Amino acid sequence: MARYVALLRGINVGGKNIIAMKDLRAALEDHGYGNVSTYIQSGNVLFDTDADPTTLEADVEAVLEKTFGVPLLVVIRSHRQLRSVIAKAPSGFGADPDTYYSDAVFLKAPLTAAAVMRIIELRDGVDQAWPGTGVVYFARLGAERSKSKMSRITAKPEYKQMTIRSWTTTVKLLALLDAQSPSR
């Protein structure tokens, strides 16, 4: 059994695609996933499975569409992969939340960080972005966040293959995986 986190895009945001976390947990448990738990209402699901990791995203997407009638993008990271995302963050990333809003932009393959870096627009002195493996790290100056160009990414076709988590949520998800993992 391996431990994973599924990052769902576009649920419980702006009154759209409302899915109760208890229903989300039940859907995955009914499909055979173990030790299922959720974190906050925005679609973070932790679970165990021995399923083939190469088909896991498609399998979870199919379960959710069949159960809730809504096609949802699902980006899955293993415990090890999420630990690597945090360990390989740029030096100091997320360390000063009172000054910078920091996010992890998780990418669904085949979308790459190199491709996303080509489409991201940055405002000088406000926005910063760094490529990672399956992730783009994005920070914007809090005092100037209304001038950030980050929201422009939503108009790009590539946006449909990514989901964004605050750095605080990303770090918390790893802590939950660490606490719940039998192979700590």
Q: How far apart are CA 154 and CA 158, in angstroms?
A: 8
Question: Tell me: the pLDDT tens digits for 85-121?
Answer: 999 999 999 999 999 999 999 999 999 999 999 999 9
Structural domains in the chain plus CATH codes = 2-81 (3.30.70.1280), 87-166 (3.30.70.1260)
Question: Tell me: the pLDDT tens digits for 18-39?
Answer: 899 999 999 999 999 999 999 9
What one-character-per-residue DSSP string does 134-157 give?
A: SEEEEEEEGGGGGG--GGGGGGSG
CB 117 within 8 A of CB 105: no
Give me Rg for the CA atoms of the chain: 16
Predicted structure pTM score: 0.94
